[in-house]
Chains A and B, each alone.
Chain A
Amino acid sequence: MTISDERSTEVSGPVSGHPHNTRKLSWTQRPGLLSQNLLTAIVFGVIGYLIGHWFGNYLASGYSYIANSGQNSIANTLALAFGVVGWLGGIGALNYPFAKLFGVDGLEEESPVDNWSKYFRYSLDHKIVGLQYVVGVLLFMFTGGLLAMAIRTELLNPTTHIFSPDVYIKIVSEHGTIMMMMATSIIVGPLGNYFVPLMIGARRMAFPRIEALSFWIFTAGYMVIFSALPYGGFPTGWTGYAPLQTQAGPGMVSYLLGFAVIGLGMILAGFNQAVTIINYRAPGMTWSRVPVFVWSILATAALLTLATPVLFAGGLFGLLDKTVQTAFYVDEHGGSSYLWQNLFWFFGHPEVYIMALPGFGIAGELLPVFCRRPLFAYKVSAAGMIGVALLSFFVWQHHLFQSGINPDMRPLFMLTTELISIPTGFIYLVGMGTLYRAKIRFELPMLFVLALFFNFLIGGVTGVFLSDVPVNVTVHGGFFVLSHFHYTIMGGLLFAFMAGLYYWLPKMTGKMMNKKIGKVHFWLMFVFFNLTFFPMFIIGLLGQPRRVFTYATNLQGLNDFSSISAFILGFSFLVFFFNLVYSMWIKPEVAPANPWESLGLEWQTATPVPSYNFERIPVIMTEPYRYSEEGAPAFADFGPKDAPDSPTHTMA
């Protein structure tokens, strides 16, 4: 059977959740609380944790952080690792591999009962996983955001302190780590999983089990990283530089293992996306007809797959140093603290493009819809994303200009870093070209896209300052760089995520987000984002290093201005959450089938999307984005309704 045969016929695979199944329900399929779900995952996770902790202490009880405390790195590592395995077993991620291992056939993982409980289970439907991711990343973001509020509260005054320096540095570290790990998945997870199959005319992801696994690993990784706080936190920031890492207490284990766990989920998610996009495109969807959002996810997937293993390995080396006393990062014993810096940033720089690219993709996807004209320079935009992805592997030492590593390589890394602004500039060419003589509709998603272009410009231009080694001497390690990456990640990615949510939630939920509250949210977020972070450029130039609990008293005015703006920025997220609850549950407004009059494939199928996505696999007829063009053919041909091969008819 060829792939295209499979595409057009296979609808009763593991994803379909078909009603014909008349066999007796196995225990994994029972509805509600009776089967494997979030609760069993928690119970198994806790049991795994306790077993791991006991086992670790059994192995290595003599090496406690504090005498007789029962806390040692081996126990902590094994506890968290066993906890993750328990969590995955509890949710049911291991049923299929074990069934295969023991030769059990015909295991049905999907419950035939179709109610709310499916959202709390191990689901192989990419749309359910997408929605699970929405809740997951919002929870992640909310936690990180609260920590940000704590940071800005401490920085209100240089001499009066809310937190001890110890607590403060742990808050900073946890904020950075949580936000960075959240941002890797914030678009690829929710919107990528939900919409990539729909946008390429597929009925599922290539590997539905790996898709579900990546989500449940992501949630486990979140809890592992968060467990650092009850363990007493870690003092290294999200960068975890090595001698400090080696010196740190039990919380460091959570950081290192958390990176390894989330890294594993990122690798799996990336490779699943890449395989899906390459192999599951509908007939007729040639590479020049792939929506730009899908291009951006493909470029991101390449980075996820190729860069994250380095983080994974780096985290494991750190764990070995902490548990079995290897010396990868210990200078005194023949290791090198530069090794961690190199490994970390070799991942860390592609990582920032893992965050930026999906944002560009959303911008490119939404612009033609709200400009009512085709995307300008489609091929340039795809080339830009691929160019950024490729170059991002060759710039990592620009984080280490003053570190003393390879001083003679600095001109090269300055060059590659500045070269990357060429493909990034392509995105601006595409954006500005698409606005040219358009008929712009100022709907909520469009406002967020426009804000992205405004914010990312400032983030990008300040990036050029940072890449210039002489200027880097002043701006490295200070609030300038901090502001720079908040402008790119928050100002770019998070605004794109909001654009994507306002745009696609009507498809995902069948309900429109309230426009008035949405506008309040947008304006608060846009204005106070800029008022929070723009002063930080000046604060940084005036000499305030990052991650400090105290600062020069003459900078208090600017810091207070930034803090107060940050509180209102935080409030704007509450407005968003209120809008979400209000529009989804309090006063839902039914969304029209295609509220934005998009030509995209995802809007051409029914809402709510049936589990098999399309009655028939569409055949793509032409380029995407042929808006306002008289006589343009429809993007896709869906064939006649009730055709013999539609899934409502049983196939032989």
Chain B
Amino acid sequence: MTNKSTNSTGQVHHLRRMAVVWVIASIIGDILFSIFVAPHVPPGRLTETAAKDQTDFNILFEMALPVLFGVWIYLSYALYFWGDKRNSDVAFSGDAARSNMKTQVSWMVITSVTVLFLAGFGTWALVVDHGSGGGQGPNPAFTPSGSLKAETAALLGKATWSPGSKNILPVQVIGQQWKFTYRYPTFGGFESSQLYLPADTTIAFNVTSLDVIHSFWAYQLGVKADANPQVNDVAFTTTKDPGSFIVRCSELCGIWHGAMYNNGAVLSQSAFENWATTTEAANAANTALLPAFAWTYVPDANGAAGGYYPDGTLTPYSPSEVYGSKQPS
């Protein structure tokens, strides 16, 4: 019994000292982080999505910092004061050292509450931000209003967008080894290797692939969606001011995966419209030869995935034999 009373007073003493240091360090750490680091945390604030992703990251970090500090302070304290050279007491032992209901239960309650809060917060952020820029497959679960209408219109070739129209702009992203191309169904379905977007507009990226799995990562937009063959993976973002961004492939897709990137830009609405209509006209001859706009494309023998060569003879498949003069040379 005497042993027990010294234990409990000892416990209060040590833990109180640690708690004071911990609270001070956590507050200072969080304040310094918020002022000096948080505004610069990737992916930046080029779009609504990116800004919200950045906020989520910062909130997680501000919660993580006290956890890290708590363990570090405890470990440092323990190693300093309870090393066998410095600590002249006998090591804490017996039943009291073996378990302590109060500590165990409070630990479990605190960790559970924290974790449930994080899961709830993450879900809330995911829902209100329409999937937070992540790929949501062909039937997105969390959508901005009007997206279904815009997507349907795009498929039927009836989508419209003009400066100030507030319409959602569907853009198709086609991954193939080893480049991304972009089709704009709103502008006759022309295909471009450049990605330009209008400012202050909600974009519905429709991401697909012609061969292997790629991942469309528009870093500063806060968008990442896997490009799967024969799957339309939809991701939403809402652009704000003009600015430039980089697109990288973030799923290993073969030899030149590392070199699969291009630059894109958010333009002012009028500049975008100007670019889109000009390019639509300039590319009209090529667009006519493209497959009709669709959410996914099955590569044929002449397509990106290649055909099977008959064994022994290395003569490639002849497209003109199969398709006649309709095919591009």
Contact B252 A547 (CB under 8 A): yes
Cα(A44)–Cα(B260), bound, Å: 45
Report chain B residues within 8 Å CB of A552: 246
Q: Which residue of A lies closest to B42 (CB)?
A: A541
Report chain B residues within 8 Å CB of A442: 83-84
Cα(A418)–Cα(B120), bound, Å: 10
Segment from A237-245, A263-271, A585-593 that makes contact with B: A237-245
A458 interfacial by beta-carbon distance below 8 Å: yes
Contact A473 to B228, CB < 8 A, known contacts A244-B212, A453-B71, A545-B248: no
Contact B99 A376 (CB under 8 A): yes
Contact A337 B229 (CB under 8 A): yes
B253 interfacial by beta-carbon distance below 8 Å: yes
Cα(A438)–Cα(B90), bound, Å: 8
A404 interfacial by beta-carbon distance below 8 Å: yes
Q: Which of A450, A543, A550 contacts B219 (CB 8 A)?
A: A543
What count of chain B residues pass the 8 Å CB interface test?
103
Segment from B27-35, B138-146, B186-194, B282-290 that makes contact with A: B138-146
Q: Which residue of A lies closest to B106 (CB)?
A: A429
Distance of B243 from chain A, by nearest CB (Å): 15
Cα(A9)–Cα(B168), bound, Å: 79
Cα(A239)–Cα(B226), bound, Å: 15
Contacting residues of chain B (202-220) with chain A, CB-CB under 8 angstroms? 207, 209, 211-213, 215, 217, 219
Report chain A residues within 8 Å CB of B43: 473-474, 543
Contact B89 A437 (CB under 8 A): yes
Report chain A residues within 8 Å CB of B311: 62-64, 67
Q: Which of A332, A414, A425 contacts B122 (CB 8 A)?
A: A414
Interface membership of chain A positions 302-327, coded 1 if the CB is closer than 8 angstroms to chain B and 0 otherwise: 00000000000000000000000000
Cα(A439)–Cα(B253), bound, Å: 53
B239 interfacial by beta-carbon distance below 8 Å: no
Contact A414 B84 (CB under 8 A): no
B41 interfacial by beta-carbon distance below 8 Å: yes
Tally of contacts, chain A with chain B, CB under 8 A: 308
Report chain B residues within 8 Å CB of A380: 99, 104
Contact A428 B71 (CB under 8 A): yes
Contact A548 B257 (CB under 8 A): yes
Q: Which of A402, A421, A437, A545 contacts B111 (CB 8 A)?
A: A421
Report chain A residues within 8 Å CB of B56: 468, 470-471
Interface membership of chain B positions 60-80, coded 1 if the CB is closer than 8 angstroms to chain A and 0 otherwise: 110010011001101100110
Report chain B residues within 8 Å CB of A465: 57, 60-61, 64
Report chain A residues within 8 Å CB of B209: 243
Report chain A residues within 8 Å CB of B224: 402, 473-474, 476-477
Report chain B residues within 8 Å CB of A64: 311
B325 interfacial by beta-carbon distance below 8 Å: no
Distance of A598 from chain B, by nearest CB (Å): 14
Cα(A117)–Cα(B248), bound, Å: 55
Cα(A627)–Cα(B67), bound, Å: 30
Contact A541 to B41, CB < 8 A, known contacts A67-B314, A468-B60: yes
Contact A471 B90 (CB under 8 A): no
Contact A432 B71 (CB under 8 A): yes
Contacting residues of chain A (152-202) with chain B, CB-CB under 8 angstroms? 165-166, 168-169
Contact B71 A439 (CB under 8 A): no
Report chain B residues within 8 Å CB of A425: 107, 111
B231 interfacial by beta-carbon distance below 8 Å: yes
Distance of A437 from chain B, by nearest CB (Å): 4
Interface centre among A67, A440, A549, A629 (most CB of B within 10 A): A440
Contact A457 B126 (CB under 8 A): no
Contact A474 to B71, CB < 8 A, known contacts A437-B92, A469-B134, A541-B42: no
Report chain B residues within 8 Å CB of A623: 98
B299 interfacial by beta-carbon distance below 8 Å: yes
Interface centre among B53, B123, B228, B312 (most CB of A within 10 A): B228
Contact A450 to B79, CB < 8 A, known contacts A169-B257, A374-B98, A433-B103: yes
Q: Which of A166, A235, A457 contacts B71 (CB 8 A)?
A: A457
Contact B71 A372 (CB under 8 A): no
Report chain B residues within 8 Å CB of A67: 311-312, 314
Interface centre among A64, A403, A542, A552 (most CB of B within 10 A): A403
Contact B53 A435 (CB under 8 A): no
Distance of B122 from chain A, by nearest CB (Å): 4
A406 interfacial by beta-carbon distance below 8 Å: yes
Q: Which residue of B lies closest to A370 (CB)?
A: B84
B256 interfacial by beta-carbon distance below 8 Å: yes
Contact A414 B123 (CB under 8 A): yes
Contact B75 A241 (CB under 8 A): no
Report chain B residues within 8 Å CB of A394: none
Interface centre among A426, A436, A441, A550 (most CB of B within 10 A): A436
Contact B233 A403 (CB under 8 A): yes
Cα(A633)–Cα(B235), bound, Å: 65
Contact A243 to B211, CB < 8 A, known contacts A169-B254, A470-B132: yes
Contact A405 B137 (CB under 8 A): yes
Interface membership of chain B positions 96-125, coded 1 if the CB is closer than 8 angstroms to chain A and 0 otherwise: 011110011001100110011011001101
Distance of A556 from chain B, by nearest CB (Å): 14
Contacting residues of chain A (416-434) with chain B, CB-CB under 8 angstroms? 418-419, 421-422, 425-426, 428-429, 432-433
What 8 pairs between A and B have smallest CB-CB spacing? A548-B258, A404-B137, A477-B250, A404-B233, A407-B136, A437-B92, A470-B132, A408-B141
Known contacts A376-B98, A432-B71; 17 additional CB pairs below 8 A are A67-B314, A235-B254, A239-B252, A244-B212, A244-B213, A332-B299, A380-B104, A403-B135, A421-B115, A435-B82, A437-B92, A442-B83, A454-B75, A468-B56, A470-B122, A470-B133, A474-B53
24 contacts between A and B (CB under 8 A): A332-B305, A376-B99, A377-B99, A403-B213, A404-B207, A411-B123, A418-B115, A418-B116, A422-B108, A435-B74, A438-B92, A439-B89, A442-B83, A453-B71, A453-B75, A468-B56, A468-B122, A469-B122, A471-B53, A473-B133, A473-B223, A474-B219, A477-B250, A628-B90
Chain B residues near A (Cβ < 8 Å): 10-11, 14, 41-43, 49, 52-53, 56-57, 60-61, 64, 67-68, 71-72, 74-75, 78-79, 82-84, 87, 89-94, 97-100, 103-104, 107-108, 111-112, 115-116, 118-119, 122-123, 125-127, 129, 131-142, 207, 209, 211-213, 215, 217, 219, 222-226, 228-231, 233-235, 246, 248-259, 298-299, 305, 311-312, 314
